[in-house]
Chain A
């Protein structure tokens, strides 16, 4: 089900499926003016998947940090309860990662992360979302 839905959005994406794991790789372009990125999604049954950007390499700030990433370099695009096992990745983690990429490009250009809303643009809020990044 997840694999079919992913193929309908990214026809040339590659999926490998085992009983315990789904691995998907595909290229996305979140907006007309965005770059094209290759995403890597790994999912285990009933658990939220992990999404990483495999190309082009993400560019952390001077202190080696990126907004909203986990220790392992995957994108932190949800909070507990946002995703339920019945939800398709094509309506959740895939577009959420695409959103992350748009906000990431804006962050590179302006130093501001717009993804948490207009009332989170103050310096203190912006500083709190940066996390050490390991590719």
Chain B
């Protein structure tokens, strides 16, 4: 089981990471909460098949129907849902290429439901269950849930702008998930290029696709969302939304620092990017004029209190990791913040990386007995550690 997680998680660059540092422990824990390459392939294949079913169903439209992932899948910040047995939740937009005047909100939603049902019954779908919430449809497979949000193009605004239905399915709301994903990527553009180059070099290939790497910002957003989910375990409705957390983190991220440094410093910085305008908390959608992500905080002021309560706790918790000494103290802190799947993966990964380095003859010892699993050069004065086996019991 430990090996499987290690082998199938989305690849990230590890050459520069120090074994047993907080940066590495958190990185390895988060990998176990990420979507795996196999799951990703399955998601793409499922929404592509669903897209074909929709296209067939909408054969009489203008012809540019599409289905595309949005939210965390598009941003590279998927984190397993701790409240659904660590399942993967994916959001996508089903865009019907028709004019706004030609279709009503309820009609569009029902229409998408017909195609989704047809797809769910098809032989290739794997027999997912279909359910609906206020404005979207959900296909559920064991371990995975795909939310489908019906939409039409926003011809007035153009580009990647779309209209989606509101929760009452009676009004059109402007949205632009594609534009938001571009904005988010822009906040870590240099880091994305760097991670891709490092990974390509490690794999000895010319290039690697963007989905195959994770930047520090993406990892930090995953960590923040996971901490939020666990912190609000017994009051899920009070959780600050992912879009608020993601936007604030992206604003606060300066582009430098290792994963733990950024995680430790970001919560305090995030809160500074919320402003009060005429007595209302404001966090503008960076790609959608007039949209305030914290709009609901005006009518439900307790939401602001929940956010600030959580962000303070996140800062306290993340700082406490750095003050503990001894893995037997640090790992339980990580488990309490991010859950057992995270802590188990972080422990197993450290154990395997040391064991693997010893087996490969790449384990070194330096000042004060500090061990390092080096693939490149090592510090002067370090000794290469000879191979050995622990005595007694079933050892090699």
Whether A associates with B in a native complex is yes
Chain A residues packing against B (C-beta within 8 Å): 5, 8-11, 26-36, 39, 67-68, 70, 76-79, 82-83, 87-88, 90-92, 94-100, 102-103, 105-106, 108-110, 112, 114-118, 120-121, 124-125, 128-131
Contact A30 B369 (CB under 8 A): yes
For B386, the chain A residues whose CB sits under 8 A away are 82-83, 87, 91-92
The answer to the question of B326 belonging to the interface, with a C-beta cut-off of 8 Å to chain A, is yes
Which residue on chain A has the smallest CB distance to residue B366? A9
Given contacts A33-B327, A76-B390, A105-B326, contact A98 B351 (CB under 8 A): no
Contact B20 A34 (CB under 8 A): yes
Roughly how many angstroms separate A73 CA and B389 CA in the complex, as a whole number?
Answer: 18
Roughly how many angstroms separate A102 CA and B372 CA in the complex, as a whole number?
Answer: 12
For A99, the chain B residues whose CB sits under 8 A away are 354, 358, 363, 371, 385
Q: Could you give 20 example pairs across A and B, Cβ below 8 Å? A: A10-B369, A11-B367, A31-B370, A32-B20, A39-B369, A67-B390, A76-B390, A78-B391, A94-B365, A98-B369, A98-B370, A99-B385, A106-B327, A108-B326, A108-B327, A109-B343, A114-B351, A116-B390, A118-B352, A124-B394
Report the minimum CB–CB distance from B214 to chain A (whole Å). 22
For A92, the chain B residues whose CB sits under 8 A away are 385-386, 388
For B391, the chain A residues whose CB sits under 8 A away are 68, 70, 76-79
Report the minimum CB–CB distance from B138 to chain A (whole Å). 36
Kindly specify which of B88-96, B142-150, B310-318, B328-336 makes contact with the partner chain. B328-336
Contact A128 B394 (CB under 8 A): yes
Given contacts A79-B395, A109-B347, contact A94 B2 (CB under 8 A): no
The answer to the question of B102 belonging to the interface, with a C-beta cut-off of 8 Å to chain A, is no
For A102, the chain B residues whose CB sits under 8 A away are 20, 327, 350, 354, 371
Contact A91 B384 (CB under 8 A): yes
Report the minimum CB–CB distance from A24 to chain B (whole Å). 12
Chain B interface residue count: which class? Answer: 35 or more
For B354, the chain A residues whose CB sits under 8 A away are 99, 102-103, 114-115
Roughly how many angstroms separate A15 CA and B20 CA in the complex, as a whole number?
Answer: 29
For B350, the chain A residues whose CB sits under 8 A away are 102, 106, 114
Which residue on chain A has the smallest CB distance to residue B23? A32
How many pairs of A and B residues are in contact by the CB < 8 Å rule?
Answer: 189
Which residue on chain A has the smallest CB distance to residue B325? A35
The answer to the question of B235 belonging to the interface, with a C-beta cut-off of 8 Å to chain A, is no
Chain B residues packing against A (C-beta within 8 Å): 2-3, 18-22, 25, 324-328, 330-332, 343-344, 347-348, 350-352, 354-355, 358-359, 363, 365-371, 381, 383-396
For B2, the chain A residues whose CB sits under 8 A away are 118, 121
For B18, the chain A residues whose CB sits under 8 A away are 32
Contact A106 B351 (CB under 8 A): yes
For B325, the chain A residues whose CB sits under 8 A away are 33-36
Contact A103 B365 (CB under 8 A): no
For B20, the chain A residues whose CB sits under 8 A away are 30-34, 102
Report the minimum CB–CB distance from B54 to chain A (whole Å). 44
Contact A9 B327 (CB under 8 A): no
Roughly how many angstroms separate A131 CA and B350 CA in the complex, as a whole number?
Answer: 24
Contact B394 A116 (CB under 8 A): yes
Which residue on chain B has the smallest CB distance to residue A96? B388
For B387, the chain A residues whose CB sits under 8 A away are 82
Given contacts A33-B327, A34-B326, A35-B326, contact A129 B393 (CB under 8 A): yes
